Structure 1
């Protein structure tokens, strides 16, 4: 494998047992790549990154933006399932999570979104001092290198970061998606040219993406683990290796135990300063629990020796729930469904391969609407239909008056069952997908056993709070109104519907075909329960807080009650951000790296 600090990735932990590092980072995902880069920039600091998956470099489907779903249920995916969800017809929901360098930034769709400024101000008001929007803004900007193009003509470059390692831009947008934007404006939703400013997300917008000027995904791995970074003598990246637990001497974290498989030898890898868990909102709490940090009764039940009774490890799980893809009949030639055909897509793939342009550079979710469910100016309801559910008083769950609780993603193609199911041949589909940004339903991650090779139990507890269903129903109603705006009519083939079709027909185009003045809330909710899915944003399972009774880590992201152990990933989010999580995770990791290096500097002085 070469010497200890070679440019290649190591995959044999036995060669590292005689080395003591300054920092061990568990997880080479979105946050882990940022930390690896920034910490090892100090040549006096030695860093080991441990990733359970493999390298991103040979994953072609990760590089081609439109092909991201091709990685689902492969070796690059943890391929999780939730426990049966009582309020979603007892379904077990598929949860893809990146199992490769770059983590979910190498796996999921490429929406660059800073979310709402008040989301982070709310964090501070909840006790996370130093994590307001003003505190995080320098790190959003530090990470980003925005490249303007013709699709970003209305964006003010001064609002964007430049010179960062993470490439952002506006990528391909289909003409039918442009019509979606016009339709949203017709029904009263203002255009927002840049949802990543102090003004916030409200409005309809073209998504900014993290697709570079070569038309390839700019993941945390491609951005932060470049060849020159990997060549640093003080950085080691160990792949294909599972962290089984954190090692403690008394209450001081001194390293980790790792193994290749359930039956292979276990090795102890040591550090002098800190272990940093960046394994994501599922694996981070699992490692904490396996290490004896968590609710005492749960640990004792699994015969895990208790290091510290921390009741909220694995609790406070939040996720953004999608109603399911609302598929609308589009006229021939209007959509990108041809990209799902190996033959028909070939010209687009060749164009991508040679020029880095064209429809293969779409991030699928090309545009979006962000609104508040209590906005009385928008057509959420109808006078001619029973809207008793949505007319019930809604709880305002937003972080502020300029923050949304509904997002509607627009895609110029079918996206059925996470892209794993294809529509019938010759079908042309335009997708609108409402999702819940500020859920009141809270779930948990718990151990299934004491084996680190058994998947953790995931219970998001979807729709357990009735307010969540009310908001999602409003999202569906707004979709039906956008679909019937004048701008969409030349693009869609909506049939005249004298009465609503029965959901039991499982029609591909239900409820898109439904008349918004006839369909009832009961029928919409029945469809949601049968079709709702995750949009891949779990967070909050190692919550940041001002004391150990209300969270897992302090405002320095250090785990309460022990020393030498931090968490840096979406687990630390105190509550749900109102948008896509990748950019906030990278900003959190940039800030965390700065805080850690400050302590190194203080130690020298």
Structure 2
């Protein structure tokens, strides 16, 4: 008798838990659950494992995996608010998920961001409730004083974790613009924030990156969480396995359904894996709602059009999609500046950089440090402009307006504003709308809107032929972020247009301006035009994209319960026993930060709750 195939071996186990999605949060959940010997957890990951892939591992090669075999390469439907353009939605299709593809920036949102989740009725999800799980995930490498002085590094050591799985460091080398960032912003009245991870990231700071200090390789969920736990007999992984649906079974009285297994496809063959405990969906903000809908949980109109039987009606599934919006102004740089494009176009320099990285783990291939500034609108707009913007929003009557909409409106008009726009300058051309000229060097001023009013949705598409087959997971989800649409979208558009003027002011201020020759995209105004009054409105609609930070599509419902969300504050899917969601999709409101640190904290907090509930159930509590 021959040995078992990979899938046969997987199916031979008696699983208590299945995690669907071996991504950022999914591998956290799986690794932590497997710490309990009474739990046997299986992980279904649609992509491959890629532990030896240099395009993932080498920090200075970030971005090279986008639009490759490791990327789902989703895109939105045409956006009326953006002159009919489609927007790319890159998501990781590899063990480690988007943590294997992202740009490695590591920081947290503001205290108020998480407290707003708790204000909605999601108990334990405020800043004080989630901070221990930020720290639990992190292994912070303390830099020496000389390094701190050289790179303008500030931090509060008490706010960091030091023995978690995820290595976080300040980069060993920085791009040419980083040394000028703090001094330039200081001239514009923006102070450096000495404690940007302690509950407020307003101001200017140098961010941490997710890099292993010993190997100088990207540190992401696959090597950090999965590999150290992979020897355990109760943690079993199957890659290249795409989930089709969660198998639901009605109880004897025909009441609430229970999740009893997962249907998945592996090498073109369908299988069902049963479970005796729980299923945790960690497929991300695009595919977690997709999988719920494919399982019969969602808006009945969407499900019926897809040819799928309605098991539980919940029109909130796939709604509430929020993403940071990003613009990118491009500047021609001094020709002596070394950029990532320099290495891609000069094979000799690239070979030298690769050799330096291989032999000493130094050089351009390690230059992934970021300095950013998070600023409130009030820093560069007048009170009158803010008042006009606030007046454009629908009235937030306490009796009729949802609390999350009230919170967004309050953020716009509050005198104590958080960082509503992120400003970030990098030495490379990050615009997909401006082609680089051979031989020229470029830098990009990026502006990212943190608290968008624009709210969209993601749903499974209608079946092309309901009579012959229902929609399945091979059919790409329909993504509609509705950027710059409606009254709230109009406010987003106007605030983004105003942000461009301040972004250009940063690039026109020394010492950063000393390495810049001129702005090339959009072209500079004519000699007789006042740059401070430049109108970026139409240009913003032509080039704004998402920042790959989608959240909210399986949001915690808080006090509203199933009327306001998809999961409760213990991440249990409303109306279904034994089914949870744990990833960025559970976030009811967007935060002012890059997402990865928060998603790891969600995974840690979720796993802690899942184990606690499992112990109570086994003990009959």
Instruction: Give the TM-score taking structure 2 as reference length.
Output: 0.87
Contact 2:154 2:193 (8 Å CA) reproduced: no
Return the offset for 1:369.
Answer: 1.0
In structure 1, the residue matched to 2:276 is: 272
1:91 to 85, 88, 93: 85
Note closer, same or farther for the CA distance 1:512–1:119 as it changes in structure 2 (3 Å cut): farther
1:477 to 501, 505, 508: 501
Contact 2:170 2:208 (8 Å CA) reproduced: yes
Note closer, same or farther for the CA distance 1:586–1:565 as it changes in structure 2 (3 Å cut): same
* 1:541 is the counterpart of 2:535: no
Give the Cα–Cα distance (whole angstroms) in 2 for the partners of residues 492 and 516 of structure 1: 22
Give the Cα–Cα distance (whole angstroms) in 1 for the partners of residues 410 and 326 of structure 2: 17
Contact 2:203 2:374 (8 Å CA) reproduced: yes
Give the Cα–Cα distance (whole angstroms) in 2 for the partners of residues 283 and 514 of structure 1: 47
In structure 2, the residue matched to 1:326 is: 329
Note closer, same or farther for the CA distance 1:116–1:521 as it changes in structure 2 (3 Å cut): same
1:343-492 counterparts in 2 under 5 A? Answer: 343-363=348-368, 366-375=370-379, 378=380, 380=381, 392-394=388-390, 396=409, 398=411, 401=416, 403-417=418-432, 423-448=436-461, 449=463, 450-464=471-485, 465-492=489-516
In structure 2, the residue matched to 1:494 is: 518
Contact 1:118 1:133 (8 Å CA) reproduced: yes
Contact 2:320 2:555 (8 Å CA) reproduced: yes
Give the Cα–Cα distance (whole angstroms) in 1 for the partners of residues 451 and 533 of structure 2: 20
Contact 2:10 2:236 (8 Å CA) reproduced: no
Note closer, same or farther for the CA distance 1:160–1:513 as it changes in structure 2 (3 Å cut): farther
Give the Cα–Cα distance (whole angstroms) in 2 for the partners of residues 189 and 491 of structure 1: 20
Secondary structure in 2 aligned to 1:105? helix
Return the offset for 1:397.
Answer: 5.8
Return the offset for 1:595.
Answer: 0.6
In structure 1, the residue matched to 2:159 is: 159
Return the offset for 1:353.
Answer: 2.0
Contact 1:542 1:572 (8 Å CA) reproduced: yes
In structure 1, the residue matched to 2:402 is: none
1:313-338 CA deviation, whole Å, 9 max, x = no partner? Answer: 00000001102x21112112234242
Note closer, same or farther for the CA distance 1:367–1:64 as it changes in structure 2 (3 Å cut): same
Contact 1:207 1:366 (8 Å CA) reproduced: yes
Contact 1:397 1:440 (8 Å CA) reproduced: no
Secondary structure in 2 aligned to 1:370? strand
Large movers: runs of 4+ above 6 Å: 387-391, 512-517
1:494-543 CA deviation, whole Å, 9 max, x = no partner? Answer: 38xxxxxxxxxxxx432567889725878411111111112110110001
Give the Cα–Cα distance (whole angstroms) in 1 for the partners of residues 476 and 159 of structure 2: 42
In structure 2, the residue matched to 1:29 is: 23
1:219-253 CA deviation, whole Å, 9 max, x = no partner? Answer: 01111012x41111001000001100000111000
Secondary structure in 2 aligned to 1:494? strand
Contact 1:121 1:132 (8 Å CA) reproduced: yes
Count of residue correspondences:
570
Give the Cα–Cα distance (whole angstroms) in 2 for the partners of residues 320 and 398 of structure 1: 16
Contact 1:19 1:269 (8 Å CA) reproduced: no
In structure 2, the residue matched to 1:247 is: 247
Give the Cα–Cα distance (whole angstroms) in 1 for the partners of residues 442 and 122 of structure 2: 44
Note closer, same or farther for the CA distance 1:131–1:511 as it changes in structure 2 (3 Å cut): farther
Note closer, same or farther for the CA distance 1:206–1:301 as it changes in structure 2 (3 Å cut): same
Note closer, same or farther for the CA distance 1:188–1:541 as it changes in structure 2 (3 Å cut): same
* 1:100 is the counterpart of 2:94: yes
RMSD: 2.4
Give the Cα–Cα distance (whole angstroms) in 2 for the partners of residues 43 and 317 of structure 1: 37
Contact 1:480 1:516 (8 Å CA) reproduced: no
1:6-405 counterparts in 2 under 5 A? Answer: 12-149=6-143, 150-151=147-148, 153-171=153-171, 172-198=173-199, 200-213=200-213, 214-226=215-227, 228-250=228-250, 251-260=257-266, 264-323=268-327, 325-336=328-339, 337-341=341-345, 342-363=347-368, 366-375=370-379, 378=380, 380=381, 392-394=388-390, 396=409, 398=411, 401=416, 403-405=418-420
Structure 1 unaligned runs (5+)?
A: 5-10, 382-386, 496-507
Return the offset for 1:66.
Answer: 2.3
Give the Cα–Cα distance (whole angstroms) in 2 for the partners of residues 397 and 514 of structure 1: 39
Give the Cα–Cα distance (whole angstroms) in 2 for the partners of residues 478 and 520 of structure 1: 9
Give the Cα–Cα distance (whole angstroms) in 1 for the partners of residues 526 and 366 of structure 2: 32
Contact 2:21 2:282 (8 Å CA) reproduced: yes
In structure 2, the residue matched to 1:499 is: none
Contact 2:282 2:581 (8 Å CA) reproduced: yes
Give the Cα–Cα distance (whole angstroms) in 2 for the partners of residues 397 and 344 of structure 1: 51
Give the Cα–Cα distance (whole angstroms) in 1 for the partners of residues 528 and 294 of structure 2: 50
Note closer, same or farther for the CA distance 1:512–1:38 as it changes in structure 2 (3 Å cut): farther
Give the Cα–Cα distance (whole angstroms) in 2 for the partners of residues 132 and 411 of structure 1: 33
Return the offset for 1:471.
Answer: 1.5
Note closer, same or farther for the CA distance 1:593–1:516 as it changes in structure 2 (3 Å cut): farther
1:245-287 CA deviation, whole Å, 9 max, x = no partner? Answer: 00011100011000125xx331110111100000000110000
Secondary structure in 2 aligned to 1:473? helix
Give the Cα–Cα distance (whole angstroms) in 2 for the partners of residues 576 and 462 of structure 1: 14
